[in-house]
Structure 1
Amino acid sequence: MYGHPIQFTRTSMLTLAYEEHGPASGDPVILLHGFPYSPRAFDDIAPDLGAQGYRVIVPYLRGYGPTRFNSPGTPRSGQQAALAQDLLDLMDTLGIEQAALCGYDWGGRAACIVAALWPHRVRCLVTGDGYNLQDIPNSAQPLDPQTEHRLWYQYYFHSPRGVEGLTRNRRALCELLWRLWSPTWAEGPALYPRSATAFDNPDFVEVVIHSYRHRFMYAAGDPALEWMEQALTRQPPINVPTISLCGADDGVGPATPNDEDRDHFTSDYERRILPGVGHDIPEEAPEATLRALLDLMQR
């Protein structure tokens, strides 16, 4: 079912599943997947880093794979602050003071938030599509029509019909998103089943629905995380060495000619646009992702 032996660590909210490569004494690297993906996105990256002596941690985000909530009373939140808190808790329970972070989509959001609010915990950052912090207070402002069209699935999830659709058709719906978001990735359809098993988690639907409702202020967040959400409304800068990887063929957020995120980064920063690559950056472009990490870690 899974591609590598699963380990578990218990945080205050989760029994968090993760895969580990390389020696425990190595410099830590944490690789974070997005929606609707899984740790399989890093199968061509994590073993390579481990073989080079890095301690590589690849967690299953809340709502994915064998990760489980510890209590039935814990809100099944998918909000950005919850993802960041999970990352911090993972680092704390594994005794990791500082790590190189690499993430995209939901995982990129967690990595960017920790880099912005706790820069001393982040050695460097590889982020898919730049500055991933949500600007929730301004989420009600309409975007250009083409962008709104690409976000159809988010609006679908705002409705009871969308909840039922994701519940009944999670495999087919997520497969459709894979194809739409990576339209030029020929290998994607064959690789999809490797990740799709991670969506069978009993909390997957609730976490996903909450994520897309909270970001538009249609659902309240976890009260315990409200302080972090308030901090994120200020859109804090990221002050760690960063490389942003952007897929030129990304079907949900195509790379723009101008880097609209540049001013959010106040340390060494570089943007790399990847031709022929869609949304699932590490799985579509493992060599470019690995190179970005090594370029930062070997400086």
Structure 2
Amino acid sequence: MDIFIRGGLVFDVRDSGPGDGEPVVLLHGFPQDSSAFDRMAPALHSAGLRTLAPDQRGYSPGARPTGRSAYRLRESVDDVLALLEAAGLTSAHVVGHDWGGIVGWALAAWHPWRVRTLTSLSVPHPAAMTQALGHSDQALRSSYIGFFQVPAVPEAVLLAGRGAVLRRMLCQGGLPPELADRYVERLRQPGALTAALNWYRALPLSGTPVGTVRVPTLHLWGDGDAFLGRAATEATAQFVDAPYALEVLEGTDHWIPELAADRAAELVTAHVRTHG
């Protein structure tokens, strides 16, 4: 399966690994695409797992609707449900990084029967994140989000000099330059950065809160993460009513799929085999 369709939107998806393997949906975040899992997926395949990695809405050229309301969390969750339907799957293991992790948390909370296990890379439960904003350094770490929500200005700033500002921001956050170049080049396509930023602009429209998660959950966090701090990470356990484990990756930045791919794949495989 190279694509799936929902509501007239055409999503690119990488369906790889053994066709009869336990299915694992891999959800990328900002400013990545499904290639974020290029270093991690082969190890999952070697363990007998099938991976389905979509370019999420706004990142697939054929699924780039206009207007921030099209990027509400509910829409992104429903995209994953459409992917499962297209693949003929009742449920799957879900691994999400960054925004993909937020989609994973919501999917597991709202549709637990569709999620065999959840693994969130970097991102804490949204309620833990909200909690941490009031009593830790998380508000400072997240200050860029307010800028991203401003209309039009972020595009002009981030793409100035062929994306030099965005590239510098990513590299300062720990992403290797060659990967930053790849993601920036993709976001320089017409409308691509606006679509990616609309995920942030839709935050005030989120509606239904992400409640308690009741599926087996693994949370991986790098203690070098510039964007997400320890307070929200440690508070996440309060919002999971199921087997839960936190693994702290020492010396690892935010970009776990790229920078800690082997260790992440090892932990995901163990999680799937234990609770699958």
Q: Name the TM-score class by shorter chain.
A: 0.7 to 0.9
**Alignment TM-score, normalising by the size of structure 2:** 0.86
- Cα–Cα, structure 1 residues 175 and 291, in superposed 2: closer, same or farther, change >3 Å? same
What is the aligned length? 273
Residues 1:254 and 2:246 are matched in the alignment: no
Unaligned runs of 5+ in 1: 1-5, 222-228
SS of the residue 1:68 aligns to: coil
Match of 1:192 among 180, 192, 206: 180
The one-letter code matched in structure 2 to 1:68 is: G
Answer yes or no: is the 8 Å Cα contact 1:130–1:261 preserved in 2.
Answer: no
Q: Give 1:153's aligned residue.
A: 144
Question: Partners in 2 of 1:142 and 1:111 — Cα distance?
Answer: 21
- Tell me which residue corresponds to 2:39: 44
**Of 198, 208, 226, which residue of structure 2 is paired with 1:231?**
208
Match of 1:19 among 11, 14, 20: 14
Secondary structure of 2:208 counterpart: helix
Indicate the RMSD between aligned Cα atoms, in angstroms.
Answer: 2.9
Task: Return the alpha-carbon distance in structure 1 between the equivalents of residues 179 and 4 of structure 2.
Answer: 28
CA contact (8 A) 1:19 1:57 kept: yes
- Structure 1 258/89 Cα, relative in aligned 2: closer, same or farther at 3 Å? closer
Q: Quick check: 2:28–2:100 contact (8 Å CA) kept in 1?
A: yes
User: Given that residues 245 and 273 in structure 1 are in contact (C-alpha distance below 8 angstroms), is that contact kept between their aligned partners in structure 2?
Assistant: yes
Partner in structure 2 of residue 31 of structure 1: 26
> What are the superposed Cα offsets for residues 5-57 of structure 1, whole Å, 9 maximum, x if unpaired?
x9211112420001121132222111111101222221122122223332211
Contact 1:244 1:272 (C-alpha < 8 Å) held by counterparts: yes
* CA–CA separation in structure 2 for the residues paired with 1:8 and 1:244: 29
Change in Cα spacing, 1:245 to 1:82, as seen in structure 2 (3 Å) is same
Offset, 1:251: 0.5
Query: Are the counterparts in 1 of residues 123 and 228 from structure 2 also a CA contact under 8 Å?
Result: no
Q: Is contact 1:63-1:199 (8 Å) kept?
A: no
**Percent of aligned positions that are identical:** 25
Q: Which structure has greater helix proportion?
A: 2
